[in-house]
Structure formats: C-alpha cells, structure tokens
Amino acid sequence: MALYGKGYFLWQIPKVERGDPIAITTRAVDAGISHILIKIADGSNWVYNYDRDTKFDYVPPLQNALHDAGIQVWGWHYVRGDNPIGEARLAIHRMQGLRLDGYVVDAEKEYQKRNKDIAARRFMQEIRASFPDIPIALSSYRYPRVHHQLPFEAFLEMCDFAMPQVYFEQKHNPDEQLEICAEQYMSLNSARPIIPTGPTYSHAGWRPYADDITRFMHKAQEMGLDAVNFWSYDYATRPTMSDLWNAVSDYEWPNEKPTADMPERLIGRMNQSNFAHVADLYNDNAAHVNAARTVVGKQAIAHWYDNLLNTLLPGAQFEMTGKTSSQNTRHFTWTASSDKGNVLDGKDTIGLRDGRIQYHYTYFTISQSV
C-alpha cells in the first residue's frame, strides 16, 4: 500500500491529546493528514505504546479510529542490531497482532558499528519472509555518504521505500538539504522511492521556521515525491509548536497524484515493447547517451530501442524503482526482467523541453537469466 500526502511519526500515544483516539484522529483529519506512523516496538523486547501494568495496548483503539477516518496506520520500530533475530520476531509478533498497513525500521547510531551489515540482512530476511506483501520502509540519516558505516544497502534491498530524516538542524535550508539527500539516496544500488521526514520540533535552541516547513513540502512536490512525513506528532501538537503544526495543516497537498510524469510514461511504453511508440516521447533532435555511444535524432533513438526491446531484452517487464525531479530534469532508477536477461541497476537522467525528452543519459548492466 503506497503512501501519498502528509504524514506524521507518533512516538508516545498517551502524551498526545491525553491518549484520546478520537481527539487525535479529529486533529489529524482537520490537518489533512493521510498517514500516521506509530511506534510499536523498541529493540528486541520492548513492546511500545503498551502499558505493562494494566496490559492496555494504546495502538488498536487509535488504529481503529484512524482507519475509520480513512487514514493509513503504519508501525515503526527502533532497532539496534545486537539481537537482530529477536528484534525481527518482536516486530513480527507486533505487526501480526495489530494488522497495520506498513512497517518502518528505524536504524541509527547503533547500526554504525562495524560489521552490522550482517545483522541488517538477518533482520530484514526475517521480516520480509513473514511479510512478503506488506510495504516496508527504512527511516535513517539523511546523507548516506556521511553515515557510510550504516548498512543502507542491506536494509533497502528488502524495503519498498526510503524515509530519510531530513531534519536540517541548526540551519534553515530545507530545499537544498532535500535535494542533496535525494541525490545520495538515488545513487545507492538499492535505491527506493523517497518519502522524506521533516522536523517539527526544537533542539538545542534551534527550531525550524514555519516557512521552512512550507518550503520543505513545496520542494518535495516540485521533486515529484508522493509523500512527506514529519517528526513528530507529539512535539508538533504542543502549544509552543502551533506555528509548525499550522504550516503542515495549511499546506494543501493535491487530492490526487498528477498526470503521469515522463519517467512513468517512458517505462509504460517500454513495457508495451513498441520501440516506435517509445521514440515518440523524444524531440526530433533529442540526444540519447549511454556508456558506449551517443545517438541523436528520433530515428536513431528508435533504432536503439528496437535493439533493446527486441534483441537484448525481448519481452522484458520494466519497473521504475525511484524518482526525483527538479524543474525540467528527472532522475530515476529502474529494473527489468526477461527470459534473456535482467537489469537490476538502471539509473537514468532525462531533460525535458516542450513536454518531450530532449536528452537522455542511461546506465545499466544486463545479467544473464538463470
């Protein structure tokens, strides 16, 4: 189940609207919130938003109220990697009992220790084996190149989304940081669609301006991202944060996704295996660049697609795995599978002019099908 629109991470249910599910839901509906991500576990043995003394689980009443209002409910889980199987089993137990719409793994400083990639893979294998059809996301640092010790690839290989924490603390440049974040995530081998998380809290004397939050959402829209999150519902609903809550609430996210963007149209036509139909998306003097050569003109581009679709990857099924946008430029990743070969690392950039493709740089390798 994909996410679209504005969402919030929720940390401690009892500390929001005194834990009243109706009050929490009413406020979310009034703000146009499309999804809430609730903390359900911490580590390998701590069930979260659950009162151990009274045996009361705060999640189901809120989940039911939110679902009744048409709001998606996901669960998130802070993990450390010292006991990955135990953490996975707790997540599985919690998710199965709650029947949530999706699951978010929150991996941070503990996963920057050496050799934690093994723990990440063990954890994700357990999770994905139990939930083959539930969407899974990774929430972690905004810049993979800065936090290169964290095994981003090991997590994202079995995730459907990346939810980078674009908190821009001590600064007020959300648009710049979101662009850098997206570029770094999209350059990963396991690139996934991005749903960034912005800050609606204060820390060490710093807090974002309301205009920062508006610009953050506007930039996400401009980049073609389907959704955004904020940390967190707990902080943003405090009286001292009302300007930040109002900035999110007042921002009008479109009710529906816009008409298919060019990367989606391109992938769609490639799946029809009609090379001439694909070439019609290009301007007459467009340039198509790959590692081997550059071709110019719609006829030469059609010939290139004829070779790709009918010789190299006949009958292939293409799938876009991630995308970012900036004005007339699109960066996207993709995969392809056919009886003759597979592509797992497609990374393309296209430039648009007058609604068609003017230049297209593509990179991919074809591995032989077994």
pLDDT at 66 over 90: yes
pLDDT at 114 over 90: no
Q: What is the pLDDT of residue 187?
A: 87
Which whole number is the average pLDDT over 278-304? 93
What is the average pLDDT score of the chain? 94
pLDDT at 179 over 80: yes
The string of pLDDT tens digits covering residues 134-153 is: 999 999 999 999 999 999 99
pLDDT at 233 over 70: yes
Q: What is the pLDDT of residue 303?
A: 94
pLDDT at 369 over 80: no
Q: What is the pLDDT of residue 251?
A: 97
Q: What is the pLDDT of residue 1?
A: 63
pLDDT at 174 over 60: yes
Q: What is the pLDDT of residue 115?
A: 87
The string of pLDDT tens digits covering residues 197-215 is: 999 999 999 999 999 999 9
Q: What is the pLDDT of residue 272?
A: 84
All domains of the chain in start order, with CATH? 5-250 (3.20.20.80), 262-368 (3.10.450.50)
State the SS3 of the chain. Answer: CCCCEEEEEECCHHHCHHHCHHHHHHHHHHCCEEEEEEEEEECCCEECCEECCCCEECHHHHHHHHHHCCCEEEEEEEECCCCHHHHHHHHHHHHHHHCCCEEEEEECHHHHCCCHHHHHHHHHHHHHHHCCCCCEEEEEECCCCCCCCCCHHHHHCCCCEEEEECCCCCCCCHHHHHHHHHHHHHCCCCCCCECCEEECCCECCECCCHHHHHHHHHHHHHCCCCEEEEECHHHHCCHHHHHHHHHHHHCCCCCCCCCCCHHHHHHHHHCCCCHHHHHCCEEEEEEEECCCCEEECHHHHHHHHHHHHHHHCCCCEEEEEEEEEECCEEEEEEEEECCCEEEEEEEEEEEEECCEEEEEEEECCEEECC
pLDDT at 370 over 60: no
